[in-house]
Amino acid sequence: MGEVAQQGRTVLLVSHNMSAVENLCGKSAVLNEGRLAFWGDTAGAISHYVSLTAQKALADTDLTSHSGRTGSSKTIFRRLRFLQRDGTPCSSVRLGEELVLEVTLNSCESIRDANLGIAVNTDFGLRVLTLTTRLSGRAMDLQAGQPIIIRCSVPELLLSPGQYRLKLVFDRSSGESYDVINDAATLIVEAADFYGSGLLPSASQGLIVSKVHWSFAEDTFTGPVPK
């Protein structure tokens, strides 16, 4: 696509992938609920898009008629909630705290050996975390017309503070896809004194945060301390 644009042709790219937009587009437009919200340089468009997404961060999202559902999907995902450990709805989670994702499913047909997947991506489309019932060894069966509620608990969320986009996938172990929703919801990770030092790495230093233990042997240095 980039080569075509370099040949002097006009290429219209419609995407939620900010990395692709940044790399391919010189000018960009942002649409919000069908209306033009921004038109100008791509850097400004990305900033505006990210800001709009943050404003839409919700503790409770109705997925029944979600605009991010792919065209071939069947409506199985009905609701997504972010919860605290005690079950209280929340629109954000602090670094290092527990995150509970509650998904409501309801299918018009019975489905056996099914899998629920939750992908966590950055605004630029980089996958940083994948959560699936299949990887946990938990297949499920859905009965037609009988809603079920599934909770996925992440005991200690170790993502760098910022906002992330969730993609939902419902498929079978055979690979047959039933329902896929891109940008189903926005997860906000808030800063916290994770290390107890008042310091945190910047996003440029990585998206995963981990506690470490440093130790120094008594005979580490046999001479003067290096300058």
Residue 93 has pLDDT above 90, yes or no: no
Residue 113 has pLDDT above 90, yes or no: yes
Q: How many domains does the chain have?
A: 2
Residues 74 and 41 in one domain: no
For the chain, helix (H) and strand (E) counts, in that order, are 3, 12
Q: 34 or 113, which is more confident?
A: 113
| Residue 201 resides in a domain | no
- Note the pLDDT of residue 192: 85
**Domain membership of residue 161 as a residue range:** 60-195
Write down the mean pLDDT value for the chain. Answer: 86
Tell me the per-residue pLDDT of 136-147, one tens digit each, with 9 for 90 and over: 888 889 999 999
Residues 50 and 68 in one domain: no
| Residue 40 resides in a domain | yes
Tokens of 135: 């990887």
**58-63 average pLDDT score:** 89
Looking up residue 78, the CATH number of its domain turns out to be 2.70.50.60
Residues 76 and 147 in one domain: yes
Residue 12 has pLDDT above 90, yes or no: no
Which has the closest alpha carbon to 102: 90, 112, 111? 90
| Residue 6 resides in a domain | yes
Which residue type is seen at 73? S
